[in-house]
């Protein structure tokens, strides 16, 4: 009798635990699904429309020229959208949890707890990781998300390609401790002009007049193109996409505390795409006007 009672109690407990686990699993799946939905909506809401235009890519001032930024050349871009902010760790974590991708840790870079906070830019990623994120958003939303090309990046960083706009700030100048990070903004962290400091939280640096924040001075940024040292000599005029193949991908922008030579809008570097090197932001490649793209497409208009 006692044995039968014990068996019945055991069966009841197993059923209760099974139901509890099922409820927990359903609740977790539902919670993750809602987070993904909110991230997709936020990503669209943060997109700023960039009108079509023609500009001279590369520095007009010889003082800013390097061998891989010569010669200056005309580029014409169709309209597109670009995210107002770099992707944060909080947003990237929603993506990795949803897709089962590995959690991004501090491997290969010395990060403290503040650098890895949800509101800090995700900046120890490979090119493949950042490209996958934008393609994931494309699948989730049906919108043509992608990484920006370097021509798109420079056009935005130079405030629609303005000639005398060497820094991606609110006024085109690098003014330390005003519109660009400096040592005293980082507490006890040491660093001087020319040294790389840890990033500030996303959105800490004053935005450009178009409303785009952190293009330079926040983190290094991956773009779509393969790197070729002399690509500017053969770049097409209309919507250049970079070389068809290569061994390195282009990194633009610059980290906090960098010197003017490191953070100006013309610099370009080639980095192996499997290196955990930089952060990113996505674009939506369509010239559909904001009022027709959808309710979540907002941003400053020129």
Residue 36 lies inside a defined structural domain of this protein: no
Residue 9 lies inside a defined structural domain of this protein: no
Do 273 and 252 contact (CB within 8 A), yes or no? no
Do 265 and 241 contact (CB within 8 A), yes or no? no
- In this prediction, residue 190 carries a pLDDT of 45
Number of helices and strands in the chain (H, E) = 6, 9
Number of domains in the chain: 1
- In this prediction, residue 29 carries a pLDDT of 61
Q: What parts of the chain have a pLDDT lower than 50? A: 21, 23-26, 107-111, 188-196, 295-302
- In this prediction, residue 189 carries a pLDDT of 47
Do 71 and 58 contact (CB within 8 A), yes or no? yes
- In this prediction, residue 268 carries a pLDDT of 93
pLDDT digits (tens, 9 = 90+) for 122-153: 988 999 999 999 999 999 999 999 999 999 99
Residue 88 lies inside a defined structural domain of this protein: yes
- In this prediction, residue 197 carries a pLDDT of 59
CATH number at residue 251: 3.90.1580.10
pLDDT digits (tens, 9 = 90+) for 193-247: 444 456 788 998 899 999 999 998 889 999 999 999 999 999 999 999 999 999 9
- In this prediction, residue 18 carries a pLDDT of 54
Residue 142 lies inside a defined structural domain of this protein: yes
- In this prediction, residue 188 carries a pLDDT of 44
Rg (CA), the chain: 23
Residue 183 lies inside a defined structural domain of this protein: yes
DSSP for 272-302, written as a single string = -TTS--BB---EE-----HHHH-TT------
Do 198 and 183 contact (CB within 8 A), yes or no? no
Do 83 and 282 contact (CB within 8 A), yes or no? yes
Residue 208 lies inside a defined structural domain of this protein: yes
Q: Which residue has the tokens 């995700």?
A: 122
Residue 20 lies inside a defined structural domain of this protein: no
**pTM for the structure as a whole:** 0.84
| Spatial distance between the Cα atoms of 254 and 215, rounded to a whole number of angstroms | 8
- Residue 68: give the domain boundaries: 46-293
| Spatial distance between the Cα atoms of 84 and 264, rounded to a whole number of angstroms | 19
Residue 39 lies inside a defined structural domain of this protein: no
């Amino acid at each position: 009798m006692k044995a039968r009672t014990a068996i019945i109690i055991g069966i009841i407990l197993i059923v209760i635990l099974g139901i509890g686990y099922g409820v927990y699993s359903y609740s977790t799946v539902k919670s993750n699904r809602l987070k993904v939905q909110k991230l997709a909506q936020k990503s669209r809401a943060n997109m700023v429309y960039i009108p079509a235009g023609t500009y001279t890519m590369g520095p007009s001032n010889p003082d800013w020229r390097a061998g891989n930024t010569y010669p200056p050349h005309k580029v014409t871009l169709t309209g597109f959208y670009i995210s107002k902010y770099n992707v944060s760790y909080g947003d990237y974590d929603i993506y990795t949890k949803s897709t089962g991708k590995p959690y991004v840790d501090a491997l290969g870079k010395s990060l403290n707890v503040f650098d890895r906070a949800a509101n800090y830019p995700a900046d120890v990623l490979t090119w493949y990781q950042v490209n996958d994120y934008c393609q994931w958003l494309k699948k989730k939303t049906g919108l043509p998300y992608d990484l920006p090309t370097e021509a798109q990046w420079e056009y935005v960083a130079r405030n629609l390609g303005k000639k005398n706009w060497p820094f991606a700030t609110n006024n085109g100048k690098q003014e330390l401790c005003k519109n660009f990070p400096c040592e005293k903004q980082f507490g006890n962290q040491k660093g001087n002009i020319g040294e790389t400091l840890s990033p500030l939280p996303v959105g800490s640096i004053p935005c450009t007049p178009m409303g785009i924040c952190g293009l330079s001075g926040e983190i290094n940024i991956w773009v779509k193109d393969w790197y070729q040292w002399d690509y500017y000599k053969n770049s097409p005029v209309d919507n250049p996409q970079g070389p068809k193949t290569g061994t390195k991908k282009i990194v633009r922008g610059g980290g906090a505390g960098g010197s003017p030579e490191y953070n100006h809008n013309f610099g370009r570097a080639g980095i192996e795409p499997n290196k955990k090197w930089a952060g990113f932001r996505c674009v939506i490649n369509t010239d559909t006007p904001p009022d027709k793209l959808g309710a979540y497409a907002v941003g400053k208009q020129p």
